[in-house]
Structure 1
């Protein structure tokens, strides 16, 4: 809730209002495999703190887990908003495809 606030409807409205036709076209041009790879790349990025590279291995941080606290959420705010934005567009496209007459 940190990235979008406590008012879910307001958050959804803001995300919807920010969508452009260009973003819809760009986000729907890829497939779920590419979406998973985007998320994986984010998890591997040093700034997310999910893992530390040792050679080719991306190992969990010391202690084996990531602490999701206020500082983490503040640091990840932009990524969280972007992922929600992309997910909403992509889910809408998938539902339109499946439910189209």
Structure 2
């Protein structure tokens, strides 16, 4: 999870769209799920292979706080497209200026 990552990787992860995509995907797929291990008459607490009984437990373990940032992650993800287009235009303008010398 992100809390165990080294500090430089934590900072860099905020500038990549993969962080926001993965949090959206995890919340979308696991929110509201209930997991059973084995047959329906076996207690979950007696089965050591059953680490998570609910999807929210998995979300909080892998991406803490992702459910509260769900909408914000979408907005940040949508802002990546115009930001990358503007960055591309600026870089090509600088390149054209340097080449024309």
TM-score normalised to the size of structure 2?
Answer: 0.32
**Looking at CA atoms only, which structure, 1 or 2, has the larger radius of gyration?**
2
More strand by share: 1
TM-score normalised to the size of structure 1?
Answer: 0.32
